[in-house]
Structure formats: C-alpha cells, structure tokens
Amino acid sequence: MSDDLELRDTADQLPDRFENPGFPPHEQRRGDVDPRANKFSERIVVALFAVSILGTIAMIAAYFAFPPGETAASMQRSNLAMGLGLAFALLGIGTGAVHWAKSLMSDHEVAEERHPLRSSDEVRAQAVEVLKEGAADSAIGRRTVLKGAVATSLALFPLTIVVPLVGNVGGDWDVASFKRTMWKKGTRLTTDPLGRPIKAADVTIGSITSVIPEGLEETAHPLDEKAKAVVVLLRLDPRDLKIQPGREDWQYDGIVAYSKICTHVGCPVALYEQQTHHLLCPCHQSTFDVADGAKVIFGPAKRALPQLPITVDTEGYLVASSDFTEPIGPSFWERLR
Ligand code: FES
C-alpha cells in the first residue's frame, strides 16, 4: 500500500515534457579540416569499391575455372572459389558505402521529432529537398574517380547472378533424364554409401536403410544418379501392409522400397516412426504412411513417395524389378510427362 502511494507521488512530480538536452558539441573529423585527409578517405572508398570490382571478376573467373564437376572435392573447390569472389564483391560495396558515408558525407546531426505517420505535403516536399541536398552533399558529381568506381562496381555486381544463370541456359540439361533413374530389372539394392548388396534375410522387421543401386560409382555422373535413385528400404510385418492394387508383387515378404526424395520440394525423407509406420520429411514435416503405399497423411507434399518394385535374385539378394514407374521428386516434374 505505502509503495503504491510512493510511486504515485513520484509520478506526480514528473514534468509533462522533458527538456531536449540538445546535441553534444560537434567534433570535426580530420577530413573536414584537412583536404589531404579528405583526399585520403576518398582513395580508401575508391579502393573498397575496387575490391568489389575485383571480387566480381574473380567470382566470374572462378565460375569458368572451377566447374562443379562430379566429385564432392571439385564441388567444394568450385563453391569456395565462387563464394570468396562473391564475398569480396559484396564486402567491397558494403564497406565502401559505409566508409563513404562516414568520412566524406556531411556529419551534421539532424533530429526529427515524432509526428503523425503521414507527413504534411510541406514536410514531404522538404524531405525531397533534403534528399537532393544529400545527393549534392555526397559530392558524387565532383568526385569523378569515386563516381566511376561506384558505377563500375554496381554495374558489374549483377554479373555474379547473371553469368551462372546464362551459363546453364543451353547447357547439357536433359529434362527427360529427370523421368528415369538407373534402376532397372535385376539391379541389386546396396547399402549407402558402401555399396554392399543386401540379402532379404538380413533385413529385420522395423528397420529402415538408405539404399543405392549397384554400380552407382561406375556411372559417368554418380552424384546426379544417386540424387535420383536413392531409396529407403523398410521391412514391415506383412500383415500390416496394405498392398496397393496392381502392386501385388512390388514387395518381398514385407520389404518395401520407396524413393527417398520428398515429393514436396525434394528433401531426403528419413525420420521413421516404427510403431506407426510413418515416414517424416524433416524439411516441412510431410508425413508418409509406408504401410499404405507411402501416401501423404500430413504436410504440404501432394503425392505418395514413388515405390520401387523389388524382388530377390537366385542368391537371395534384393533386386529391382524395374525402374520407378513414375517420376521421382517434387511433383512439378510430373507435368513434363
Ligand atoms: S521437402 Fe519434404 S515436406 Fe517439404
């Protein structure tokens, strides 16, 4: 009770409006009083934009000098080289702009009191004037070298996006290749990444294994092929399986194989809940029921995971009966059929 009274007393003593303490004394920068220091600052800004120009050129050179290739090492090399170029291209523009603003533009402090959200026409006109003054204050018109450095770095930077995009147009993209994978009749299912063939007798009920086709490493583009062909192999109690019409011989004694590529936007599905037979995609939580043809039971995916028809060979190893019978991956590939 007494605390409450004390607070109210203090509030009564507060003034309606605090006095504006004003700005601290203005301290001039070296460049404001020394023309040589001003010139030096300008050179630093030019150098920073030059770094951006070199970064852009380096990024484009790296794009051609270090193509991604087929191995993880070559992809890392390509990403590193292009990433470094891009980093310097952006860093140069960012630090150049900041240094320019801090060392060359006017540093007079300006305060603007709060006011209703839409300014009056008069204030808006004033704002335009201030912007014009700011543009004049930046002295871009007089500093020709600086103007050239800024214009060149800004003009070149979009090339870091355009060149890789244009580079892919007319490349060796074979859209039809998205519709098929390297699975074919008799291809053995092998463990990922070791490539060991899998015997049906070794697959236990409740297990889930990531599987790749035998001979993947010998293909011309193993990473591309793996991205399309990788499947998850699961074994359920055959009594729990709801066999889809027309797929009576697509599973072997409760062992089923589904594409690992989520039909939403292509993340690898991997989280398996053994009790419910639900397979979850970690990206946006699409959930597939592997006991019921991997149909979607939750999430943004719009179609079931494609099933790979499987059987066993004479030695008891699991083999594919054919390729997938529908495109794997995000549903938009279906439109290309
Ligand atoms: S990619 Fe799997 S839910 Fe989005």
Q: Which domain holds residue 42?
A: 24-113+120-168
Q: How many Cβ atoms are within 10 Å of 333's Cβ, its own excluded?
A: 16
Give the domain CATH number at 235: 2.102.10.10
Question: How many Å lie between the centroid of ligand 1 and the Cα of residue 305?
Answer: 11
Q: Which atom of ligand 1 is nearest to the CA of 299?
A: 3
Q: What is the pTM of this model?
A: 0.55
Question: How many Å lie between the centroid of ligand 1 and the Cα of residue 299?
Answer: 8
| pLDDT tens per residue, range 142-155 | 778 888 888 899 99
Cα separation, 201 vs 318, in Å, equals 9
Task: Let me know whether 182 and 154 are in one domain.
Answer: no
Task: Let me know whether 187 and 128 are in one domain.
Answer: no
Cα separation, 111 vs 121, in Å, equals 19
Task: Let me know whether 220 and 265 are in one domain.
Answer: yes
Q: Which atom of ligand 1 is nearest to the CA of 285?
A: 3
Is position 98 within any domain?
yes
Task: Let me know whether 220 and 240 are in one domain.
Answer: yes
Task: Let me know whether 259 and 183 are in one domain.
Answer: yes
Lowest mean pLDDT across 10-24, 132-146, 200-214, 241-255? 10-24
In 237-306, which ranges are E strands? 255-259, 271-273, 278-280, 287-289, 295-298
Task: Let me know whether 163 and 182 are in one domain.
Answer: no
| Site residues for ligand 1, CB cut-off 6 Å | 262, 264-267, 281, 283-284, 286, 299-301
Lowest mean pLDDT across 20-29, 55-64, 254-263, 284-293? 20-29
Task: Let me know whether 274 and 147 are in one domain.
Answer: no
Lowest mean pLDDT across 86-95, 97-106, 279-288? 97-106
Q: Among 138, 168, 198, give the residue marking a domain's end.
A: 168
Task: Let me know whether 185 and 331 are in one domain.
Answer: yes
Angle formed at CA 219 by CA 216 and CA 225, multiple of 5 degrees: 60
- Contact in structure between 308 and 324 (CB atoms under 8 Å): yes
| Mean pLDDT on 230-259 | 95
Distance from CA of residue 192 to its chain's centroid?
Answer: 25
Query: What is the structure's pLDDT at 282?
Result: 94
Domain count, the chain: 2
Is position 189 within any domain?
yes
Is position 6 within any domain?
no
Between helix 35-65 and helix 159-168 the angle, nearest 10°, is: 10
Is position 47 within any domain?
yes
| pLDDT tens per residue, range 160-170 | 888 877 766 55
Q: Please report, as a single letter, which amino acid is at residue 322.
A: S
Task: Let me know whether 159 and 295 are in one domain.
Answer: no
Substitution site in 232, 265, 271 for ligand 1 pocket (most atoms within 8 Å of beta carbon): 265
- Of all residues in the chain, the percent with pLDDT exceeding 90 is 52
Q: Among 150, 168, 186, give the residue marking a domain's end.
A: 168
- Contact in structure between 45 and 104 (CB atoms under 8 Å): yes
pLDDT confidence of 86, banded at 50, 70, 90? very high
Cis peptide before 193 (omega within 30 of 0): yes
Is position 18 within any domain?
no
- What tokens does 218 get? 């010998």
Task: Let me know whether 287 and 242 are in one domain.
Answer: yes
Q: Among 103, 137, 168, give the residue marking a domain's end.
A: 168
Substitution site in 284, 328, 332 for ligand 1 pocket (most atoms within 8 Å of beta carbon): 284
> What's the mean pLDDT when you consider all of the chain?
86
Is position 297 within any domain?
yes
pLDDT confidence of 336, banded at 50, 70, 90? very low
Lowest mean pLDDT across 64-68, 96-100, 128-132, 209-213? 64-68
Burial of 225 (0-12, 13-18, 19+ CB in 10 A): buried
Q: What is the DSSP string of 186-210?
A: TPBEEETTT--B-BGGGPPTT-EEE
Task: Let me know whether 162 and 193 are in one domain.
Answer: no
Instruction: Name which of 82, 78, 62 is nearest 70 in CA terms.
Output: 78
Q: Which atom of ligand 1 is nearest to the CA of 281?
A: 2
β-strand partners of 273: 278
- Contact in structure between 231 and 188 (CB atoms under 8 Å): no
Q: Is residue 337's pLDDT more than 50? A: no
